[in-house]
Structure formats: C-alpha cells, structure tokens
C-alpha cells in the first residue's frame, strides 16, 4: 500500500468545503489545527484558531466533545470576529492520541420569516440572495433614518487567464482565499460579503462615510495584493490583484435599492477600464 503524501493531504484538508478543527484535551479541549475554511467561517486569519480553547470558537454548544458524540451531527454556533454568529452542524471523528476532528457545515436559515439561506457552503460567505434581501431591508431603514449605505463591487483581475494557466480547482481555491481576505477586513457586524458567479464579490456596509469607504476599499485591495498570489499572465504586476467599484449614498426616498448595485457596477467597469488594480468611486445617476 502506498503511504499518502502528508503535504498533499494537508493541502486537500486546507481547502475542504467544510470547516475542520482538530482538538485535544478532555475537559477543556484546545484547537491544534484549523483549516482555511473554518477560519473563513470565523472571519479570522487562518492562524488565529490554533491554540484557542474550543469555547472561544463555539457558543451554545456541548461543553466537551468526546467519544459519545462521534458520528452524531450536532447543531452549534460559531463565534465570528465581528461579533455575529453562524449556525452549523458539527460532526466529530475520533483520531489517534485521543484527538477529535470536528467538521463544521453552515446551516441555511430555514425558519418561517427568516432571511434567505445566508451562507454559500463553498466559500463561507453570504449568498447573493441573502445580501440582496438585507440590502432591501437596510435601504428602507436608511431612507427613514438618513444613514449611508456603501456597496463595493469587487472583481479579480485576469481571473480567466489564471484559470487557463492553473485550472479550475486552483482557481476556486484562490477565489476562496480572496473571499476570506475580503471578509476578514470587515469591521462592522452589519457588513456583508457575498460571492457572485465566477470571480466577483459584493460588499454591503452601513453608516460608512464616503471617504472612509474609499479608504476601506483601498485597504481590501492592498490586503489581496499582499497575499502575493503569483499570476504569470497578470496585466497589473507580478501578483493577483482586484479592481473595486465603490458607491456610498444616503438612499433617496424616491429610489429603489437596485440603483446602488448598478452604480457600483459602473464604477467597477471604470476601474477595469483603467487597467485594473484600482479603486473607483461612483454615485447614483
């Protein structure tokens, strides 16, 4: 029998669709390994969960996972960096040396009257349907209260070229990494990031001044450049970059929320026309 390559297995586990944590230590289990998907669900850097007590990650969950829960799905909630929570089903698998592998799978919101299914399983981000539903709700509230809403439309520069060079699997892994980076930059519990089809993302923010929104978009673009993902066909430099269209408005009382999405898309087109790797601010027409 051929011995599996540990590095290959680690890379497969890192990009698993479920969040995975390995824990050890009976009554007070601690995380000794966490994959990138779990970090994305927590909206934390990938290295953050390691060394944490399980109770710092889970809330409203059984106090100590043990052999009696192995193979049984349990509903738990994960504590995210921005103070929000995400409901998951957790499965446990017993490993050697009394360790447990915990798999977390986000659950859609399915209760009557709840928002649309909130989480895209492949990325850990919000679904577009969820973001649109929240936008319609927050648009009405902002119209009433005179608050600002910000929409960012983010596109990965040269993603089709990257796909041609490295293939679908590697490209999907990179897009998940970009999505996690965008999510980790969120600072308000009200911020939402959704992955659209292919290589695009939307970010919805509340009560952000126009200048601050532009700075935030620049920071996101900088964080993605700092990932240093090699892109041999990039037209913007050595590494993978993004273009961002950003629009901040106090919603007019006579306009619907669709105009905000359209304005962000126009700004994104302008950023792409500049050659990419840029941020363009726009306005409602």
Q: Is the pLDDT of residue 226 over 90?
A: yes
Q: Is the pLDDT of residue 175 over 50?
A: yes
Where residue 112 falls among pLDDT bands split at 50, 70, 90? very low
Contact 93, 87 (CB under 8 A): no
Query: Residue 95 — φ and ψ, nearest 5°?
Result: -115, 170
Q: What is the pLDDT of residues 121-135, one digit of tens each?
A: 666 788 888 888 889
Residue 98 is predicted with a pLDDT of 78
Q: Is the pLDDT of residue 119 over 70?
A: no
Q: Is the pLDDT of residue 151 over 80?
A: yes
Stated pTM of the model: 0.65
CA angle 141, 143, 147 (to 5 degrees): 80
Where residue 48 falls among pLDDT bands split at 50, 70, 90? very high
Q: State the DSSP code for 148.
A: -
Question: What number is the average pLDDT over the span 194-198?
Answer: 84
Residue 204 is predicted with a pLDDT of 94
Residue 74 is predicted with a pLDDT of 79
Q: State the DSSP code for 230.
A: B
CB atoms < 10 A from the CB of 154, how many?
28
More confident residue, 201 or 9: 201
**How, if at all, do strands 242-249 and 279-282 pair?**
parallel
Residue 63 is predicted with a pLDDT of 46
Q: Is 204 helix (H, G, I), strand (E, B) or coil?
A: strand
Q: Is the pLDDT of residue 183 over 50?
A: yes
Dist. CA 182–CA 201, nearest whole Å:
9
**How, if at all, do strands 192-195 and 99-106 pair?**
unpaired
Helix axes 210-226, 159-184, angle to 10 degrees: 120
Q: Is 248 helix (H, G, I), strand (E, B) or coil?
A: strand
Q: State the DSSP code for 232.
A: T
DSSP 4-70: P-HHHHHHHHHT-SSEEEEEE-SSS-EEEEE-HHHHHHHTS-TTTTTT-BGGGTEESS-SS--GGGB
Looking at the chain, the whole-number percentage of residues with pLDDT higher than 90 is 44
CA angle 258, 259, 265 (to 5 degrees): 95
Domains of the chain: 6-106 (3.30.450.20), 128-282 (3.30.70.270)
Residue 259 is predicted with a pLDDT of 94
Residue 12 is predicted with a pLDDT of 61
Q: State the DSSP code for 254.
A: T
Where residue 68 falls among pLDDT bands split at 50, 70, 90? very low
Rg of the chain on CA atoms, in Å: 20
Where residue 45 falls among pLDDT bands split at 50, 70, 90? confident
Looking at the chain, the whole-number percentage of residues with pLDDT higher than 70 is 82
């Amino acid at each position: 029998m051929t011995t599996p390559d540990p590095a290959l297995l680690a890379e497969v586990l890192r990009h698993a669709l479920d969040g995975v944590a390995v824990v050890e230590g009976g009554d007070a289990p601690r995380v000794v390994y966490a994959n990138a998907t779990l970090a994305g669900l927590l909206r934390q850097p990938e290295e953050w969960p390691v060394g944490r007590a399980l109770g710092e990650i889970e809330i409203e969950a059984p106090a100590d996972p043990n052999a009696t829960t192995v193979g049984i799905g349990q509903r738990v909630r994960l504590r995210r960096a921005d103070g929000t929570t995400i409901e998951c089903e957790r499965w446990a698998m017993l490993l050697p040396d009394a360790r447990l592998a915990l798999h977390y799978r986000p659950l859609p919101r399915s209760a009557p009257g709840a928002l649309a299914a909130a989480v895209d399983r492949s990325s850990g981000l919000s679904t577009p349907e969820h973001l649109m539903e929240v936008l319609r709700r927050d648009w009405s509230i902002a119209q009433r209260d005179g608050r600002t809403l910000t929409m960012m439309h983010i596109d990965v520069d040269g993603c089709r070229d990257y796909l041609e060079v490295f293939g679908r699997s590697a490209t999907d892994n990179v897009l998940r990494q970009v999505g996690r980076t965008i999510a980790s930059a969120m600072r308000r519990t009200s911020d939402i990031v959704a992955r659209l089809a292919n290589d695009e993302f939307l970010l919805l923010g509340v009560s952000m001044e126009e200048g601050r929104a532009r700075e935030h978009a620049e920071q996101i673009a900088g964080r993605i450049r700092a990932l240093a993902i090699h892109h041999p066909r990039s037209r913007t430099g050595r590494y993978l970059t993004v273009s961002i269209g950003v629009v901040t408005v106090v919603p007019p009382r006579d306009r619907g929320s669709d105009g905000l999405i359209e304005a962000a898309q126009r700004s994104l087109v302008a950023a792409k026309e500049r050659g990419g790797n840029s941020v363009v601010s726009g306005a409602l027409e």
